[in-house]
Each structure stands twice: as structure tokens, then as C-alpha cells.
Structure 1
């Protein structure tokens, strides 16, 4: 099977978020896909079925579990296949548009973030962070802190975060330099991902949140994910959808022989 490793939300190899992409000529068994994802060891591996069905079936697996939505692995799959793509997923149909200049647009569902009672050990899990707002969307907790420097320097207690009833935790703050509207980091130890380098799906929650906070609804925002690899996501909230844009680089093109 043709297999790729693609660095997403970047134009430079070995930055952004790496994803595996496996092209299948027929649907595969879930245990096999999970084993391949565990072998690949990327935050997510995308499996695309190329049997003539449109939209193309697409599923995503972390090293330990299947997920409902993944931005960077969708970008990686569209980049590997080239051109415009339509995918059938657990989150509905996702449309990817290749603009021809290296940028790929993705039409994703928006994710509302509603105020919630924070976990009792939130302060202990995020040492040094000044918590200003806590919200939740399905499977994800959003924590806004006082400054981008707190996001960049955060050393979270991953063991505590793993006990919370969320797939992942987004820590975010307003941008601290020109051209960046907000910064974030994403931690998902319960899903086998201590820190995700660049998380497209998190921007389905971050973009509507920051558009409201900044008074910039309907315009493109630039989010910097301040992980050690780092990357940038351009996101435009459009009601119940979010338009994401990113670039990608193929770093491996080979064959899976199992």
C-alpha cells in the first residue's frame, strides 16, 4: 500500500505536525488500522479508501484510539492525493480545496465552546498559568490564560490531565506578535498524545472563540500553535462551519508491506 509521511501546517520539513497517510484499495479492519497507527507513532495516521467511492472514505487513528475529527491528517491526505478532495468521515463530509499556490483549504464543522466548571486540580495541572476562562466542547477543554508567554512556557502535569473526562486540553492566549491573533498548545495524554504539534481540529473551537473575543467574526484569523515543532493555522469562522487553510510538505513516500 502506498504510504506517506506529511508535515502539515508548515512549508518546512521537520516542522508542523507529521501525519501518516495510508492509501487503501478496499476498507480495512479496525484492529489492523490501529496497529499500523501504533507502528507509525504519529499523533494521527489517516486511512483513505480509493475504490472509486466518492466522497472517499477517510478515518483517523492515534497510536491508541480512533478519533472523530483530525485537521492535520486530513490536510496531509489531501496533499498526498493532490488536487481537490472530498472525504466521507465520522464528522460528515469534509471538502478540501487546493488553491494551486501551495495552500489547501478545508471546510470543517465549527465547535462551540461553552463555559464549564473547571476541574478541581486545574491550577495544579497548569502550574504558573493565570486562568481567565474555561470552556468545553465535545471531547475537548479550552483554557484561556493571561499571556502568550504562559502558553509558550507551560509545563503541564500530563498525568493529571489524563484523568479528566476530555480527549484533549487546549491552552490558549491572545497573540503576542504581529500577524498572530492567538497562540495555543494542545495536550491529549489520554489519547496517547502528550502534546500535539499543530491541531487543525482544535481551531474549529479556537477560531469561533477568538473571533468573538476580538470582535472579528467572518474574517480570517491566524493561530500559532506554540509547540516545540510549531506551526500556523489560518481559520475563518463561518457560522456552523470553519474554513481552515494550511500548507504541507511530503517527507516520506513509500510502501507499507503488511
Structure 2
């Protein structure tokens, strides 16, 4: 039964919040483990500066993009609501911009994203399990549907369980990137992170069409416009990938 809110010692447990904290903890610990095992070419001081840039960029843009999902509604709710409301999409793109700005300031030329890729996927995956268990209390549910995968998420209606779709997508992406790590010596530095951003933002662009968004501009949500901006940002990488895929198909 969703939302899943077990009662322990007379206290209702916010499972979504617990899993959100677990996502941050697990993702960061995984990053530490990977960095210890890797031959990181970026110094500890520069890596710390990059992390700080990522955190501040993510904090700002996660709130900004969440506000833009429905500006009028969020404005009416007040500043406390605006500051508490956030979206992972804004966090990811804001973190990317924060990292790039930090690297320019400190003069770091090396690509820094690969080491973050698997920890980020793991963190989002854990967080999305929490979103699914929160049911309709989190705006990660889909439109009403008669599709076989439709579920009652807490309001008695059959809806697309978008958070669950994302969990399975992220599981596939995690193991795909993990497999690519075995060929990392053959890949250009930064490729893993670019693959993650391009595939995840493409997935989110598509899945937004089955989300009951009420604030749309020319039929698209603010998240979808952010996805398009991200894909334009990585246009050169996408073009290189398409050329490579075409060559492979030509050989076959």
C-alpha cells in the first residue's frame, strides 16, 4: 500500500526522507572508494574545489528549476516552500556548471566527471526508490493509464509509476557504465560522465510526456527545456557518437 509510511514506536517514519539521506551517504562513500582505487590525475585540493563548485551549483539550480516547473503555484506557497522544493535535474545541470566554473577559476584542465558517474547513478537510484514508496506525496508519479504497468500510488487511480520506471532504467545504466569502466583505457577521459548525462536527460525528456504537468510552454515542461539545453551542451559529443555508430553499421 502506497504511500509506504511504517510506524515505529508510535512514530510515522518518512521512508522517502531516510532514503534521500541514504542516497547522499551511499553516493559519497562510493565516490571515496572509487577515488582510492583510481589513479586520479587531479590533486586533492583541486578535487575539493571541484566538489564545492558542484555542491553550490547543484543547490542553486535544483531550486531554480523546481520553481520553474510551476512558478505561480510555488510563489503562492512562499519562500520556505521554494527553498525546500528541489529537482535532481536542476541539481545535475547546476552541478555541471558549478564544476566547469570551478575548474576555470583554479585552472584545472583534466576532465573530472568520470569518477562521479557511478556514485551519482547509485544516489539517484536509491532516491527514486524513496520517491516510489512516497506514492502521490512526491511529484514523481505519472498520468492515469489503462496500461498493464499502471499502479495505485495512493489516490485510487491507476497511474504510470514513473519513479519505478526510472529505477529500472538507472539499474541498466549503472551496469552499462560499470561494463564501460573495464574499457576505460580505450575511452577519452570524461566519456563516462557524458554518456550518463546524455542518456539520462534523454530518458527524462521522454518520460515527462506521461507526467501530469500543468505548467507547459509550447507543450513542453521546464524539465524538458532543461533536457534540451543539456543535449545542446553535449551536441559535439552526440555528433561524434552518431558518426561512430554509422561507421560501425557501415562495416557490418
Greater helix content? 2
Alignment TM class, shorter chain as reference: under 0.3
Q: TM-score, normalised by structure 1?
A: 0.26
Greater strand content? 1
